[in-house]
Structure 1
Amino acid sequence: MFLIEMLPAEYGDCLWIEYGKPGGRRYRVLIDGGLAGCGKILRKRIKELPVADRRFDLVVVTHYDTDHINGIINLLKNMPEGFGFDYFWFNGYDQIKPQGTRWVTQGEELSDLLRKLEAKTARQFWNKPFRRKAVMLPDTGPPKSIRLKGGMKMTVLGPNSKGVNLLFKEWDNVVKQEKAAAKLRKDPETAPEEDETFVPRDLREIQVASLAASGFEEDDSVANGSSIVLLAEYENQRVLLTGDAFPGDILEGLSRISGDSGKITLSAVKLSHHGSKNNNNNDFFSALDCRNFMVSTNGKRHGHPDREGIARVIHNKREEPTLYFNYNHGNSLVWSDAGLQQKYGYKTVYADNGHLKIDLTGQPH
């Protein structure tokens, strides 16, 4: 059994992973927590489990963006009875600062919560396999892999040292920008209006080859470039979890495990940055042999997924791909057209409430 569920994280990411032997114990991994409201959903979901079964192998916050981190902060502030984790991976200031740096930033909320939780439980879980330093790809040699309690292998493919060093240099700015953005979203008088009634343009405008070939300008967000990228492997299934990382950086990590053996075979890929055209290019998808692609976003705030990003998935396909969208909004629904699917050879699966579960093994669960 290997299940991945995209939870309703609005325009963010929250991935609930379950794995294990049929009829046996279920092991769990949580990747990101979406916006603050998703924390309530996570808390409710955890409380539906027996108290004795609320422990996770691993919780990961891929990077310091509100649509990935705030739900986790919300959850940790009011943890359900029995909830806990063996490992927690997050690159805070203490993890990325060069050795010998003594100054510590103030007000970084998740780091404060984790420090207090470690003190309360008398346990060390924060980036423990990495000697409490940054979870990252080494400059040379193979990526670091961790075998979780239930047998899942987690290999860290990113960020690289460039992404970590840039985050350190820009840490104050990153934190201030995210706090300002969060405050803006909470203030209805100053928050920008959102177009929640997006209407797809004429379907005749969609020419996959032209969209795929459109100019690519790589994302330059420092926060996104610091994303923790993971390869999750269990029972011959391999899933690439990308956060909001840059495609070139992801390929760098994959090349460390694939060598020059041709295309990289994967069972599923969570599209980086919610399908943004600036985080998904032809070089990336042409290097993959994969049929399942997940897109987590309700399309608000940034209008993701971009048509160019999805077109590049389809254009570089090896076999008929399936696109999984956890919201059925205009930006994703445009790809539901039967004529487009027949013409370009792909399938779509939609959820209408943000919950979408993918079973990678087809085993009973």
Structure 2
Amino acid sequence: MNYYEYDKERHIIMVDVYLLPANEGDCLWVRYGKKEGTRHNIIIDGGVESNGGDIASIIENIAERNEKVDIFVTHIDGDHIRGLIKGIGISNAEVLKKCVDTIYFNNKKDILDKFRIDSISSEGLEESIKTYIPSGKGYSISEAVSLLEILKKKEIDDKIDGCVFAGRNICIAGASLKIVSPSDKELIQFVTKCTKKVDEDGAVTKGYSANMPQNLNIDLKDLMNEKFPPADSSITNRVSIGFIFEYDDAKIAFWGDAVAPVICRGLKRFGINSEFEVDAVKTSHHGSSRNISNQLLNLIKTDTYLISSNGRTLKGQLTVPGKLGIAKMLKKGGVTGIQLLCNYKWWEYCYHNKYFTANDKCNYIENDKLRLCYLSDKAYSIKEGLNIYGEWN
């Protein structure tokens, strides 16, 4: 095949990514395949409860096209799972059975069964969800159980793949998904010591690290030389599913809320020990500086970052996206700079245009070294055949 024939074939390949507004959460839809004809779909999380209508409409749209969908529940925090509860709950059961292929939804039972751990009871799925993480304020156990009950009610719980871990290469309708988080070791330690958390070295520790406050008065240039804060130690984020999606020549990293040290170890399981170029990265944990590291920026090369955030955390605090993380990404971007593709104009509405200093605007924004792009229902083309949207019709 000569170059012209290959190029002609490549141009009919399409990957559309919808980064839907989900307040502080994540709700993504990937549709890919030939430009004309049947394509495949992946839903990654469902955002908050108000996204339920989006999820139901997307599923109905997929079914009407006689297409299939795989669903990833990256982890069970409410800002990722509540929209799935609502959306699947109001969807027709027969439609779901027709179009849903696999639901990737980690749970204790399947993890213990997979690794043949007999020392701890392998309860039923519902009980395993309840014991997947410790009881306590802030952990979405009730939402996880609710989602499982909905899947049972709709008779699609048999479609659950409940043990997704780093090193797996999942092939879905011609696409390859390199799973880089969580690690199998971490999953095992997590479910066998579910009253504690596991740090990056495998030792059992306690605690929960909140997001760091913003330093809005500090210039991006000065933040480039600051150290990253300690890695996110949230129990649920440390077992969040993160992967690299590859289809044809499109490569996108979807990190969920995964933690940088865990992602880096997962990348190395695929032999990624130096710069691996991707077209875009969906930043972890809504751009939190605690979920980025210098090592991760050195392993994954891109100039395009997707940020799903309205600028607030669940508690209404102004902590994301992290300005330190943006400064580090900008530093890595060098003279060509970077672009942030966002589903909210958080720098305007949430931070009242005070997120970036006058020097930031002069040195980076006005000369397009830092390009802030608000996504809409119009395609934002990263390259031929790869489009990003913020809404869908």
* Pairwise TM-score range, normalised by the shorter structure: 0.7 to 0.9
Query: For residue 25 of structure 1, what is the amino acid of its counterpart?
Result: T
Alpha-carbon distance, 1:17 to partner = 0.6
Q: Which residue does the alignment assign to 2:103?
A: 88
Conservation of the 8 A alpha-carbon contact between 1:46 and 1:54: no
> Does 2:372 correspond to 1:348?
yes
Structure 2 CA distance for partners of 1:11 and 1:169, relative to 1, 3 Å: farther
Q: Which residue does the alignment assign to 2:385?
A: 363
Task: Write the distance in 2 (CA, Å) between the matches of 1:291 and 1:325.
Answer: 14
- Is there any run of 5+ residues in structure 2 with no aligned partner, and where? 1-13, 131-141, 198-213, 388-393
Alignment TM-score, normalising by the size of structure 2: 0.73
Work out the number of aligned pairs and report it: 321
Alpha-carbon distance, 1:26 to partner = 2.5
Query: For residue 164 of structure 1, what is the amino acid of its counterpart?
Result: L
Task: Write the distance in 1 (CA, Å) between the matches of 2:243 and 2:147.
Answer: 21
Task: Write the distance in 2 (CA, Å) between the matches of 1:338 and 1:322.
Answer: 16
Conservation of the 8 A alpha-carbon contact between 1:291 and 1:320: yes
SS at match of 1:11: coil
User: Which residue among 317, 322, 327 is the counterpart of 1:306?
Assistant: 322
Alpha-carbon distance, 1:343 to partner = 6.4
> Does 2:262 correspond to 1:256?
no
Alpha-carbon distance, 1:168 to partner = 1.8
Conservation of the 8 A alpha-carbon contact between 2:190 and 2:196: no
User: Which residue among 281, 288, 292 is the counterpart of 2:293?
Assistant: 281
Instruction: Deviation per CA, 1:202-239: give whole Å up to 9, x if none.
Output: 5xx32334255234211111100001111110111111
SS at match of 1:240: strand
Q: Which residue does the alignment assign to 1:190?
A: none
User: Which residue among 291, 294, 302 is the counterpart of 1:290?
Assistant: 302
Alpha-carbon distance, 1:291 to partner = 1.5
Task: Write the distance in 1 (CA, Å) between the matches of 2:272 and 2:386.
Answer: 35
User: Which residue among 152, 158, 183 is the counterpart of 1:124?
Assistant: 158
- Is there any run of 5+ residues in structure 1 with no aligned partner, and where? 128-132, 138-142, 175-198
Conservation of the 8 A alpha-carbon contact between 1:328 and 1:351: no
Q: Which residue does the alignment assign to 2:137?
A: none
Instruction: Deviation per CA, 1:1-57: give whole Å up to 9, x if none.
Output: 11111111110111111111122223211000111111122223444x274326433
> Does 2:175 correspond to 1:160?
no
Task: Write the distance in 1 (CA, Å) between the matches of 2:27 and 2:378.
Answer: 11
**Mean CA deviation greater in 262-271 or 355-364:** 355-364
Instruction: Deviation per CA, 1:141-185: give whole Å up to 9, x if none.
Output: xx2212212x111121110134313542565799xxxxxxxxxxx
Task: Write the distance in 1 (CA, Å) between the matches of 2:287 and 2:51.
Answer: 20
Conservation of the 8 A alpha-carbon contact between 1:31 and 1:60: yes
SS at match of 1:156: strand
Conservation of the 8 A alpha-carbon contact between 2:275 and 2:299: yes
User: Which residue among 13, 17, 21 is the counterpart of 2:34?
Assistant: 21
Q: Which has the higher contact order (CA 8 A, sep 6+)?
A: 1
> Does 2:126 correspond to 1:134?
no
Superposed, 1:65-80 pairs within 5 Å as 65-80=77-92
Query: What is the percentage of aligned positions where both structures have the same residue?
Result: 24
